[in-house]
Amino acid sequence: MPEMFTVLPPAEALKVLFDHLPLEIREESIATAEALDRVLAGELTAPSSLPSFPRSTMDGYAVRAEDTFGATESLPAYLTLIGEVPMGHASALAVGPAQAAVVFTGGMIPPGADAVVMVERTQKLDAETIEVLRAVAPGENVIHVGEDIQEGEPLFAAGHILRPQDLGGLMALGITDVRVAARPHVAIVSTGDEVVPPEQEPGPGQVRDINTYTIAGLVARAGGVPEIKGIIKDDYSSLLSAARSALEAADALVISAGSSVSTRDLTSDVMNELGKPGVLVHGVAVRPGKPTILGVCNGKPTIGLPGNPVSAMVVAGLFLTPLLQRMQGLKNPPAQRRETARLAHNISSVPGREDYVQVRLVEREDQLWAEPVFGKSNLIYTMVKAEGMVCVPLDSNGLHQGEQVEVELF
Amino acid sequence: MPEMFTVLPPAEALKVLFDHLPLEIREESIATAEALDRVLAGELTAPSSLPSFPRSTMDGYAVRAEDTFGATESLPAYLTLIGEVPMGHASALAVGPAQAAVVFTGGMIPPGADAVVMVERTQKLDAETIEVLRAVAPGENVIHVGEDIQEGEPLFAAGHILRPQDLGGLMALGITDVRVAARPHVAIVSTGDEVVPPEQEPGPGQVRDINTYTIAGLVARAGGVPEIKGIIKDDYSSLLSAARSALEAADALVISAGSSVSTRDLTSDVMNELGKPGVLVHGVAVRPGKPTILGVCNGKPTIGLPGNPVSAMVVAGLFLTPLLQRMQGLKNPPAQRRETARLAHNISSVPGREDYVQVRLVEREDQLWAEPVFGKSNLIYTMVKAEGMVCVPLDSNGLHQGEQVEVELF
């Protein structure tokens, strides 16, 4: 019975959902080379130091720094060339007093040497002698063992999302496999006697399925795997059996509900039958977003989305995206892209409800303006024509023309 | 000969590269359901109007608005119920004067009716009679034919990147396949006698390959397909034959070069041999970023990246990412995620060069501070420990502690 539920503000509704979810993260091991944008399941520490040998940062000569002290262009230091350090091999050379060895960028500093003189700061006198025209300090132009990372140093915390440089940093240490959160599989069930698949020519009174594809896109963007389960007729037993088999094979279930009163109750009845505790939240103080149903069935989250395609996207953004991040153990979700703009028209709202308004961004008078996209809130092309949304907060009764607003970009 | 080339500012270097690239975009047709984040190859217009029939936005009664004029709670309008419009079917009903038909959200408005009274604004007297407690205007609670999108209206321009709502909007119109830019295949060749694959235990003087994986990650993020070609020895004929076969099978080539003087010249010699015009830019005024080589060989872009892993990422961000966007015909690349922060330390630079400094973001005294990550610029973990980069512009000799800076987030 929907009447038993209080309409909650979005943040509270999300908390109720999270409080009923199990804490475990489903994990898997994958190749680091395939792990871009995946979420680390556990903390990682460096198995060895990087670099593992002292390396030159320049093309030049490995020397004992003290042999160059006081060297200038007019009074150079003279050093004896004892050979060249080959790239990718240990050197048999050892640099003694007043000696120098050719070394390339990235090459090993031979024993005895403690600094590198850039080739540009030297002059070759003959095959065996160089002049050093400027002094180097001990350690100059050298990367020491462990200067990049030390053995045992923490690399990443659990819940870190892997970026290109992180893959490189792991590979540098020979960590070619990583344990990450499995991508949550989200079954998407669409309902509605009037809904037909997009490839079908709709008959009179029929419309093509939109929500399956917008929700699948949002699932993919949040790191999940959408499982498209097709369109189910608006009757209890069809929806229950489709929802049950969809949820069994997936980590989460989304039902894009028919929007009439009767089908709304259908979704909630089915969610209560799927497993305990069933429906947790029925109705959220957000517009557009009616009706939103949040539940957990046998440890798996289930979300009933409005049939209205704009509401469905707004509600999925508020609940499904954070849910998928939480299911992957993501600690610091990447900040949403935003733009600051001035509002081109008044937006009215009522306190006690969050409003989301689609806006276009327009450059005018050297400023960026957020122009609300007009049109009934259930038209998908109001979302298509928009670049982002402006949120009117819970306690506000509207935003004024000319006000600075934050636009959450799509 | 590198000496023949002037070191160009990054924006000019990119222009030189683009000016030598063919304009054609390689296209392909794919399922709309798989087209998230792909770039449209051509303009699209609406093949039909949406909705294709007038729809109710509410559960209620389809009526002739004029029959409700003046209706109030104390003086309701009495209408005769003639039946229910089934969802997903044409209705045989036609609403005449003083008549009403039950209609659900999304259902078809039957002929004769021009508005919908919400069920909450009515009272049912008996099986055949309702009271309307408030007047509705013509068109109220109705979505008209073409109100979402009109047949022939432009939907998207070529070069538009497809978002979740765009997939929904296309499916709504039955556009189940789209022509998009093919993902550019980028062959990545790593060179260096000291470089070994990550799965191998490095011997003395050897290091594991980093750049292949950071660059592959950046290619994937920019919509390309990385083709990992392995590590090639630092000699002209090995590199030439590897580069030639890699470029033949790909749309672009990246050579992550050894960083010593001799191997730098190798990359440029190979690029000149691969095809005309060959090397276009040798050296860019950016730090870290030495040496950067940009070229076009028989119509295909080739980029020589520095061996230093931080430089390689900075240069790839400046050239490879915009190159891949351009190869896909992307018109308005999504804005990079940014944060405004105060700089925690001075950064020195020299005019005539763009500097990129890795920073950590730290909350302190209720403010966000950008703290430069210390360490030599060739340590991959300076990138790993950073959340983003701050650019010191071309004409600046540095940024001051306490200054507001824009941090480009990774």
Q: Are residues B106 and A207, on separate chains, in Cβ contact within 8 Å?
A: yes
Cβ contact A95:A63 at 8 Å: yes
Please give, rounded to a whole number of angstroms, the shortest distance from the CA of A14 to a CA of chain B.
22
State the CB neighbour count (10 A cutoff) for residue B89: 15
- What is the CATH code for B2-21+183-327? 3.40.980.10
Structural tokens at position B62: 């389809």
Q: Which residue of B has its CA nearest to A313?
A: B165
CA-CA distance, A197 to B32, in Å (whole number)? 13
**Parts of chain B belonging to CATH 3.90.105.10:** 27-50+151-181
CA-CA distance, A133 to B79, in Å (whole number)? 104
Residues 6+ apart with CB under 8 A from B24: none
Residues 35-64 of B with CB under 8 A from A: 36, 50-53, 55, 57, 59
Please give, rounded to a whole number of angstroms, the shortest distance from the CA of A188 to a CA of chain B.
13
Q: Where are the beta strands (DSSP E) in A344-387?
A: 347-348, 354-364, 367-372
Residues 6+ apart with CB under 8 A from B221: A36, A164, B321
**Parts of chain A belonging to CATH 3.40.980.10:** 2-26+182-327
Contacts of A171 in chain B (CB under 8 A): 198, 208-210, 212-213
Residues 73-132 of B with CB under 8 A from A: 85-91, 104-108, 119
3-state secondary structure of A101: strand
Contacts of A221 in chain B (CB under 8 A): 36, 164
What percentage of chain B's residues is helix, strand, coil (to nearest 5)? 25, 35, 45
Cβ contact A253:A299 at 8 Å: no
What is the pLDDT tens value at each position of chain A, 410 positions in all?
344 567 899 999 999 999 999 889 999 999 999 999 999 999 999 999 999 999 999 999 999 999 999 999 999 999 999 999 999 888 889 999 999 999 999 999 999 999 999 999 999 999 999 999 999 999 999 999 999 999 999 999 999 999 999 999 999 999 999 999 999 999 999 998 899 999 999 999 999 999 999 999 999 999 999 999 999 988 899 999 999 999 999 999 999 976 556 666 899 999 999 999 999 999 999 999 888 999 999 999 999 999 899 999 999 999 999 999 999 999 888 888 899 999 999 999 989 999 999 999 999 988 999 999 988 878 999 999 999 999 999 999 999 999 999 999 99
Average pLDDT of span B19-28: 94
CA-CA distance, A85 to A62, in Å (whole number)? 9
The CATH number for A2-26+182-327, chosen from 3.10.105.10, 3.30.1510.10, 3.40.980.10, 1.20.200.10, is 3.40.980.10
The number of C-alpha atoms within 13 Å of A140 and in the hemisphere containing its C-beta is: 16
Pick the closest to residue A394 from A349, A344, A358, A357 (CA basis): A349
Angle at A161 between CA B211 and CA B188, to 5 degrees: 20
Q: Which amino acid does the sequence have at B32?
A: T
Q: Is the dihedral of CA B51, B53, B56, B59 positive or negative?
A: negative
Q: Which amino acid does the sequence have at A309?
A: P
Domain A33-49+150-181 has CATH 3.90.105.10: yes
Query: In this structure, which topology does domain A55-143 adopt according to CATH?
Result: Molybdopterin biosynthesis moeA protein; domain 3 (2.170.190)
Domain B27-50+151-181 has CATH 3.40.190.10: no
Residue B361, burial from CB neighbour count under 10 angstroms (0-12, 13-18, 19+):
middle
3-state secondary structure of A391: strand
Q: Are residues B380 and A148, on separate chains, in Cβ contact within 8 Å?
A: yes
- What is the CATH code for B338-409? 2.40.340.10
Express as a percent the part of chain B with pLDDT over 90. 87
Structural tokens at position B383: 């990138």
**Parts of chain B belonging to CATH 2.40.340.10:** 338-409
3-state secondary structure of B313: helix
Whole-angstrom CA distances from A263 to A268, A314, B8, B122 are 9, 20, 64, 21
**Parts of chain B belonging to CATH 3.40.980.10:** 2-21+183-327
State the CB neighbour count (10 A cutoff) for residue A368: 13
Residue B220 belongs to what H/E stretch?
Answer: helix B211-221
Structural tokens at position A324: 């998928």
Pick the closest to residue A195 from A235, A160, A230, A159 (CA basis): A230
CA-CA distance, A402 to B336, in Å (whole number)? 26
Residue A158 — φ and ψ, nearest 5°? -60, 145
CA-CA distance, A85 to B365, in Å (whole number)? 51
